[in-house]
Amino acid sequence: MVIMTTTSSLTFLPVLERIAEEMERTPGRGRAADYIPALAACDPRRFGMAVAELDGTVYGVGEWREPFSAQSITKVFTLALDLAREGDELWEHVGREPSGNPFNSLVQLEYENGIPRNPFINAGALVVTDRLQTRTGDAAGELLAFLRSESGNASLDFDKEVAASETAHGDRNAALAHFMASYGNIDNDIPVLLDQYFRQCSIAASCADLALATGFLARHGIRADGSRLLTRSQAKQVNAVMLTCGTYDAAGDFAYRVGLPGKSGVGGGIIAVVPGRCTLCVWSPGLDERGNSVAGVAALDRFTTLTGLSVF
Ligand code: DON
């Protein structure tokens, strides 16, 4: 089923309809994340996809209005919010190279002196949230306010059940945080940081919300209200890090297939940016072994193939 919010510039709607039909005919489609019990119950075959135009027009197919767990997609927004505040100093605390390792891996941290490879693996995201927490006193609250404002959806919120589920199964993130603290790369008390990080990941939002919230990256740093969050150059930098690191050890394959900056989360969502043109968000909870939505990557692959839009 297709629902539209406005009648202007629905350029890509026929493409989305075609993709949704193709996805319906695709068997399999991966497994929902089970390391967070609250996510495991999701039907892996659910599907929604939305496009947001630069002017805030948003439309979609399938369950594009259905909230899901944003998870690691939020790492893009905390990165942008922190970068806007502290600028290049951030890069002394977190790198910007692909890790080639799973998102929750510990192995590189020891021989790279507690400096995570990039802001999108868990270790790097913890550093970013820690720095945002130091600057704002409420990193997750700052993030939520930003998402509400960019999406125009004041009802966006944390999902307490998901946050509690992650806290109860958070040993690996706690290990990452403690290990980086031993190198002096974490400022806040670890329980405070983990609470902020788990609430950040738990935010429930729809494809429409997240496509709209990503708009500033297609508008070269300009927020929905016309104010500037990032310089043009910083927006380029965030897009570049998404392209090279946004889908973890599958970033090369994602660039090869989709050819857009993108960021996935284990809730099954993926956001993608066509700089200067539009943003996308797709959701389908069935994941591949590297934690990326199977139908989500396939749908974005079809989108760039059918439209010819990519950064390449
Ligand atoms: O840190 C975690 O385990 C999750 N809250 C976020 C993981 C995530 O979404 C990684 N993604 N693909």
Dist CA 177 CA 285 (whole Å) = 27
**Measuring CA to CA, which residue among 195, 138, 133, 189 is closest to residue 170?**
195
For the chain, give the longest Cα–Cα distance. 55
Q: Which atom of ligand 1 is nearest to the CA of 125?
A: 1
Q: Whose CA is nearest to atom 2 of ligand 1?
A: 122
Q: How many CB atoms lie within 10 A of CB 94?
A: 26
Find out whether the beta carbon of 122 lies less than 6 Å from any atom of ligand 1. Answer: yes
User: pLDDT by residue (tens digit) across 148-189?
Assistant: 999 999 999 999 999 999 999 999 999 999 999 999 999 999
In a mutational test of the pocket of ligand 1, which residue from 266, 284, 288 has the highest number of ligand atoms less than 8 Å from its CB?
266
In a domain, 140, yes or no: yes
Dist CA 96 CA 236 (whole Å) = 13
In this prediction, the residues of the chain whose per-residue pLDDT falls under 70 are: 1-8
Q: 3-class secondary structure for the chain?
A: CEEECCCCCCCCHHHHHHHHHHHHCCCCCCECCCCCHHHHCCCCCCCEEEEEECCCCEEEEECCCCCEECHHHHHHHHHHHHHHHHHHHHHHCCCCCCCCCCCCCCHHHHHCCCCCCCCCCHHHHHHHHHHHHHHHCCHHHHHHHHHHHHHCCCCCECCHHHHHHHHHCCHHHHHHHHHHHHCCCCCCCHHHHHHHHHHHHHCEECHHHHHHHCHHHHCCCECCCCCECCCHHHHHHHHHHHHHHCCHHHHHHHHHHCCCCEEECCCCEEEEEECCCEEEEEECCCECCCCCEHHHHHHHHHHHHHHCCCCC
- The residue written with tokens 């197919």 in the block is 61
**Measuring CA to CA, which residue among 235, 242, 254, 239 is closest to residue 293?**
254
User: pLDDT by residue (tens digit) across 105-157?
Assistant: 888 899 899 999 999 999 999 999 999 999 999 999 999 999 999 999 999 99
Give residue 102's pLDDT.
Answer: 79
Domain count of the chain?
Answer: 1
Q: Whose CA is nearest to atom 8 of ligand 1?
A: 72
Q: Which amino acid is at 121?
A: I
In a domain, 57, yes or no: yes
Task: Supply the range of the domain harboring residue 146.
Answer: 2-307
Give residue 1's pLDDT.
Answer: 37
In a domain, 301, yes or no: yes
In a domain, 133, yes or no: yes
- Ligand 1 center–CA 227 separation, angstroms: 30
Dist CA 309 CA 154 (whole Å) = 32
Dist CA 243 CA 246 (whole Å) = 6
Query: How much is the ipTM here?
Result: 0.91
Give residue 35's pLDDT.
Answer: 80
Say if CB 201 and CB 66 are below 8 A apart.
no
In a domain, 156, yes or no: yes
Distance between alpha carbon 250 and the CA centroid of its chain, in Å? 15
In a domain, 312, yes or no: no
- Ligand 1 center–CA 93 separation, angstroms: 20
Non-local (6+) Cβ contacts of 142 within 8 A are: 81, 132, 136
Give residue 7's pLDDT.
Answer: 43
Find out whether the beta carbon of 173 lies less than 6 Å from any atom of ligand 1. Answer: yes
CATH number for position 175: 3.40.710.10
Give residue 4's pLDDT.
Answer: 45
Say if CB 137 and CB 208 are below 8 A apart.
no
The model carries a pTM of: 0.95
In a domain, 220, yes or no: yes
